Amino acid sequence: MPFSKLGLYSSLVRGAQALGYTEPTPIQAQAIPAVLSGRDLIASAQTGTGKTAAFALPILNRLGPHRNTGPRVLVLEPTRELAQQVDESFHALGKFTDFKSVVLHGGVTLGPQRNALRAGVDVIVATTGRLREFLDGTLINLSTIEVLVLDEVDRMLDMGFIEDVKAIVKLCPPKRQTLLFSATIPPKLEEVAKFALRDPQRIEIARAKPVTESVNHVIHPVTENQKLDLLYTLLQRDDFKSVIVFARTRKGADRIAHQLRLENHACVVIHAERTQGQRVDALEKFKTGRVGVLVATDIAARGIDVAGVSHVINFDVPLHAEDYVHRIGRTGRAAATGDAVTLVTPQEANEIVAIEKLIGQSIPVVPVEGFAYEGGAAPRVDPANPLANSPKRAGHQQSLGKGGKQKGDAGKNQDKTYKGKAFGGGNPKWHSKGKPGAHWRDRKGR
């Protein structure tokens, strides 16, 4: 079904076409008519499914021409990056309309945000913290809000923003349309839904499909000691062109970036302790391809939309299985394919089980051929058999070894994933690194 059949004004159809959208994605095909009907909505859709346009287009349709009567739409986002990106999407899609918006988030001075509010806006896209700062003053009154969007609500729950969200919802008029978007709908989220929505229509977009169809998953077993070495080795490969490396903590992200730079590997970093200017600058360099490696923490990377990310490398196994899905949502976007590589120590092997369950497939464990593993072989990492995991060497056939669910699947996937990819073989750069005992820290005297 083309965009023109969804009941949108032609100016918005043209906006979508100008972005190269020929057909609505499944979430758009379902959510746009639902939002146009005026009903509340709960949509569970993974990031990367086109959910921003699924709410932005019908909202812009409802807005019509700019009015100076106070903000009519409020979109709440969990992170600054998301707020920024959602506002950009509104503007790209509403290119042929004259609506006005402001993005309110921390990390930047209040002045320009205040000026935009004084000049009059139709749409506010905000993070909860900065919005509450404004709500303490007199510049914003939410009594004119007609549509409230709560986006990525599962992440807001994770980040502990839920009381803020509730307080903000209470300030909006009861007669409004509320749209809730979330990659997952945990029970706690139903509580929020009960509080904020009235008789919502529910839309669920199958989550596993995009994950399994467009992303190849692989686990590389490694000891903690050799993780940096293995990362560096992987980044030497020609097919690792545009890579996001995920770390669990800010400190960890900084440490990885520092080590990469010591190895003359250009990279940028984003995490919550970086200033807004640094985050914008880092993303810009990565998006434009000036720097091929972005090191990020889970929260900071949420919502990053970069075309053509070839690999996501999970330097640490994510703390929550959900985060794995969010992380790999950065690659294989919009019908492209990508690789999700997870570096797993024997101690982390158990954490893979929940991820495999969530994505509905087992992930092959593949030692990196040609990498100089300490002790001559990769450590044993077997998510299906937790007791077997130990730093004891397993040899390169471990994923094809005895018993458990890895047995057949892992072997099959292994072929599928790496056949013809010249993994390790023949690349002189590949073999030049990681001689036995020559770890980064050793080479750099650390």
User: Which residues contact ligand AMP by CB under 6 A?
Assistant: 21, 24-25, 28, 47-53, 305, 333-334
CB nearer ligand AMP, residue 152 or residue 356: 152
Sign for the pseudo-dihedral over CA of 344, 350, 351, 354 = positive
Task: State which residue, 101 or 345, has the beta carbon closest to ligand AMP.
Answer: 101
- In the bound state with ligand AMP, the residue whose beta carbon lies nearer, of 89 and 406, is 89
When the beta carbons of 27 and 341 are compared against ligand AMP, the nearer one is 27
- The residue among 78 and 401 lying less far from ligand AMP, judged by its C-beta, is 78
10: tokens are 């032609």
Of the two residues 25 and 259, which places its CB atom closer to ligand AMP in the complex?
25
d(CA 403, CA 14): 56
Q: At its nearest, how many Å lie between ligand AMP and the CB of residue 33?
A: 15
CB of 23 to ligand AMP, least distance (A): 6
Please, what is the minimum distance in Å from the beta carbon of residue 81 to ligand AMP?
11
Long-range contacts made by residues 421-430, C-beta under 8 angstroms, separation at least 24? 421/239, 423/366, 423/368, 423/369, 424/368, 424/369, 424/370, 424/371, 425/369, 425/370, 427/236, 427/237, 427/238, 429/236, 429/237, 430/233, 430/236, 430/237, 430/370
- Give min distance, CB of 133 to ligand AMP, in A: 27
Please tell me what DSSP assigns to residue 365.
Answer: B
| Nearest distance, CB of residue 205 and ligand AMP, angstroms | 10
Cβ 289 to ligand AMP, closest distance in Å?
16
Instruction: Using the Cα atoms of residue 9, residue 15, residue 18 and residue 19 in order, give the sign of their dihedral.
Output: negative
Alpha-carbon gap, residue 215 to 337, rounded angstroms: 6
**Two tokens at 344?**
């797993």
